Amino acid sequence: MSGNMTTIKTVGVIGAGQMGNGIAHVCALAGYDVLLGDADAARIDAALETIKKNMTRQVHREVITQADMDAGVKRIKGAPKVGDFAPCDLVIESIVEQDDAKKKVFADLRSTLKPTAILASNTSSISITRLAATTDRPDKFIGIHFMNPAPVMKLVELIRGLATSQETYDTSVAFVESLSKTIANAEDFPAFIVNRVLVPMINEAIYTLYEGVGSVDAIDKAMKLGANHPMGPLELADFIGLDTCLSIMQVLYEGLADSKYRPCPLLVKYVEAGWLGRKTQRGFYDYRTDPPTPTR
């Protein structure tokens, strides 16, 4: 533990969706007091229930003890109002992958956060430098990108913006290590490391389907058994959310201006239909059946 580490005791998480509740879960188990916020207060309550359910599962699997869970659950509190984040030493934004929405969160926090607080984004693809420039503390701004689902996945990408100070970086390293996660340092270029490699692969799998090279079933089976992937790329796209996959491809396409990042028209079509994967019950698979059936 570095001397800087003592500065982080209370962590704010803004966005109570799948990623936000996973980050809150991990921070609480690591001993931090957590404030979990969302523009929709009902989502906070739902997230607290999800966290309890996921921790209970970890107890059953003997990953954590019942005492760990009880202490962890006690450390998380809902924070429906922006003012609730005043005690935070670190705030992690984990809302939708949209520039404007994220910038609004940072603008709202301006009057609340103490001067020493670090501001982080869990963005999977948006420029940290650009987001930092809209805040009142670009030197205290950093990308801390957790993988989904955060309680299970070992990796965290740390992304420094142009203005991120060494102290902010060092404190963030100590914080991530205290969560028992492994760090990969990524430069601040569109989609960083994991998604720059992963999402174009998913997009290519969708092109393979679009061009009729293989069916949903054949493509997923081929990558699971032929490349030893734990999940096929189309099944993975449904898990991530097709809207998220599309927005990452758009960030790559616009940010790097290379035609190899063109989103597949079929991906666009599915998103337009509102078939976003598991969260809407339909994507490349229909989850209203058991087992899920391919939709093409």
Domains 3-186 and 194-294 share a fold: no
Catalytically annotated residues: 124, 145, 157, 195
Domain boundaries, the chain: 3-186, 194-294
CA angle 253, 203, 219 (to 5 degrees): 170
Q: Which of 144, 129, 139, 128 has the alpha carbon at shortest distance from 176? A: 144
Architecture of domain 3-186: 3-Layer(aba) Sandwich (3.40)
pLDDT at 5: 47
pLDDT at 97: 84
Q: 118-121 and 141-146 as β-strands: parallel, antiparallel, unpaired? A: parallel
Q: How far is CA 51 from the centre of its chain?
A: 15
Dihedral pair phi/psi, residue 286, rounded to 5°:
-100, 115
pTM of the model: 0.91
The first and second tokens of residue 167, run together, are: 């102290």
- Give 209's pLDDT tier (boundaries 50, 70, 90): very high
What is each CA distance from 87 to 4, 27, 151, 286, in whole angstroms?
17, 16, 24, 44
Architecture of domain 194-294: Orthogonal Bundle (1.10)
- For the chain, give the percent of residues with pLDDT over 70: 98
pLDDT digits (tens, 9 = 90+) for 91-113: 999 998 889 999 999 999 999 99
- For the chain, give the percent of residues with pLDDT over 90: 95
Tell me the pLDDT of the chain averaged across its residues: 95
Q: How far apart, in whole angstroms, are the C-alpha atoms of residue 222 and residue 229?
A: 9
Q: How far apart, in whole angstroms, are the C-alpha atoms of residue 80 and residue 42?
A: 9
